[in-house]
Structure 1
């Protein structure tokens, strides 16, 4: 018995010499390979473009985050002696955390302001003993400057306020936060490390003989003052707060301020900048106690002043914090038409009067609560 086997042939071919059957079209292999290669090349180009776009997006927002952490700050242009004829000494001390170093100027109070008239006359006549017995001040104001500025902050204007306090027999400490330091630069942390620098400045003022310390903050320096006052021992260190154009760092305030320079969409810009910030600062927004500040009623007297035309720091934040304060000396001043950190320039006379009145009331209240002072006075 024989068995025939029919060979299996490719479709479209006949047994005769494997010739294509009539009507069958066979594409040349080279053309198919060429189309496949072009398709793969197109996919590769698109993938490379998307990858480049993604890297560019990440790099751009990383740069924005770097700028936020390292703002440009103009160098110091003067000093208290040149600007207002005030003698000063250089102050250098570590932050309370020990991670950064703080540089500033310490201006001792005007001792002659409280000398009796006959003592001043004797000193003017050449009495060395009278001239060598100045009256030291136990009251100090520590200035807390704003973001993107240094201890001078000329538009406030800081030198004028220092001269005013000098005449009122206050010592004054002006210092740079790390992001503004020329000698020991460190990134801005939204108040986390800055609060440690401020507390160290307060401690320095105490080491110079201050029994009463008032922190006068501007913009983010005001928000930093509130963060510092949250510390458990801050009530023992800080006796009162003056807060001008209060700015409290938060994701929303960050985005609103960045939008003033770059018209970025909220998404994905805000999440990306927030994601990148810790790489440059070592801190995240979760570490900034903004909500705690908003909900705290501070035991120390707090004077909050804010302008209605402030586009950098929402007045609603200042009003909310002011409404939460229960200390009888705490108060709020809303300046109609006032712009961010330009309240002094808007109402200079009223600004000085209100600040001086607040300081005098704080001083009177502080003295009334000092048993040793009361006993010595009687």
Structure 2
């Protein structure tokens, strides 16, 4: 009988009828390297996307503001008073100019737009202030707290700005004004609508190129910066905005404004070629108003905040005609009729 010697170096063979356990083999080095490269690229892309949207949110909350270039005396030869006042919630203080009108109890406050200050160079603020002064209105021009060069305050889409505009209105009432009107531009017009939800001392408003911030207008304006889809861009910007300034789009009372029937007369001015704020929003707003003195003027071919530039004579005629009618009606109701100047 022969015996078979087994060398200690001989690998055991598989035993018939028994499953041989498999020894896991490591992934080939090339496959591991490819996986790591793809993971790194994905992380870099995600980081770039997040950083970009964080920058946009930061930029929106901190627009670049030019320093003031002049004043009513230098520009118009009109005496003025440097003023300061607090927001209605007492959290911010604003500075401005008050251009007085002798023996007048009528006043108007300008509500400037996003990225502007009280001078708003592409809006003829000084021209309008001069014309209003001639017609017997005391004029208040001020900067929102974020709209000061070097300010640490952040833009909040009208949430805090509406409290600041309310502070300006209360300042004028404390000065004995019987009639207070608001003339708003772009986001300043949207802010005026937010203010009027709670502030009863507004006797009328002129709203030029009304801009109300919501997800649609945010997406529309985002596309002007880059061709990005609404999702996930808008949710990401909302998230970073909440982290930066504590304000979320849901904090802006968009639905309340859109469904509100305001007590005071409102003159809506808008262009049907406005690329920043769709004129259909103004059409919808105008439908909700019940005052017989409320009006709308949708300008064919008109662009954002450019209607005065292209329709200057009609612009002044229409706006001052509106103010004259509203002021006269207010005086009749108060029993103090004054002949328009």
Deviation at 1:300, TM superposition (A): 0.5
CA gap of 1:74–1:258, structure 2 versus 1, over 3 A, is farther
Deviation at 1:304, TM superposition (A): 0.6
Contact preservation (8 Å) 1:137, 1:169: yes
Distance 1:273 1:364 in 2: 46
Distance 1:53 1:147 in 2: 31
Contact preservation (8 Å) 2:66, 2:149: no
2:190 matched residue in structure 1: 223
SS in 2 for 1:179: coil
1:159 matched residue in structure 2: 126
1:358 corresponds to 2:322: yes
Contact preservation (8 Å) 2:64, 2:149: no
1:258 matched residue in structure 2: 222
1:213 matched residue in structure 2: 180
CA RMSD of aligned residues (A): 1.9
TM-score by length of 2: 0.89
1:58 matched residue in structure 2: 50
2:252 matched residue in structure 1: 288
Distance 1:269 1:103 in 2: 35
1:168 matched residue in structure 2: 135
| Residue number among 156, 165, 182 corresponding to 1:198 in the alignment | 165
Matches within 5 A, 1:317-336: 317-336=281-300
SS in 2 for 1:272: helix
Distance 1:274 1:226 in 2: 22
- How many residue pairs get aligned? The number is 322
Distance 1:267 1:364 in 2: 50
Which of structures 1 and 2 has the bigger CA Rg? 1
Distance 2:114 2:66 in 1: 12
Distance 2:49 2:287 in 1: 42
Contact preservation (8 Å) 1:71, 1:148: yes
Indicate the structure with greater helix content.
1
SS in 1 for 2:155: coil
Distance 1:70 1:196 in 2: 19
Deviation at 1:175, TM superposition (A): 0.7
Deviates more, 1:347-356 or 1:255-264: 255-264
Matches within 5 A, 1:2-81: 15-20=6-11, 39-81=31-73
Deviation at 1:252, TM superposition (A): 0.8
| Residue number among 194, 204, 225 corresponding to 1:240 in the alignment | 204
CA gap of 1:185–1:19, structure 2 versus 1, over 3 A, is closer
Contact preservation (8 Å) 2:270, 2:297: yes
Contact preservation (8 Å) 1:219, 1:244: yes
Deviation at 1:183, TM superposition (A): 6.4
SS in 1 for 2:210: coil
Distance 1:177 1:207 in 2: 20
TM-score by length of 1: 0.81
SS in 2 for 1:249: coil
Distance 2:40 2:122 in 1: 49
Distance 1:16 1:350 in 2: 109
1:28 matched residue in structure 2: none
1:309 corresponds to 2:273: yes
Distance 1:307 1:39 in 2: 59
Gaps of 5+ in 2: 14-24
Contact preservation (8 Å) 1:220, 1:247: yes
Distance 1:258 1:72 in 2: 17
Deviation at 1:17, TM superposition (A): 3.1
2:81 matched residue in structure 1: 89
Deviation at 1:147, TM superposition (A): 0.7
SS in 2 for 1:188: coil
Deviation at 1:45, TM superposition (A): 4.0
CA gap of 1:69–1:364, structure 2 versus 1, over 3 A, is same
SS in 2 for 1:192: coil
Distance 1:182 1:105 in 2: 17
Distance 2:210 2:63 in 1: 19
SS in 2 for 1:66: helix
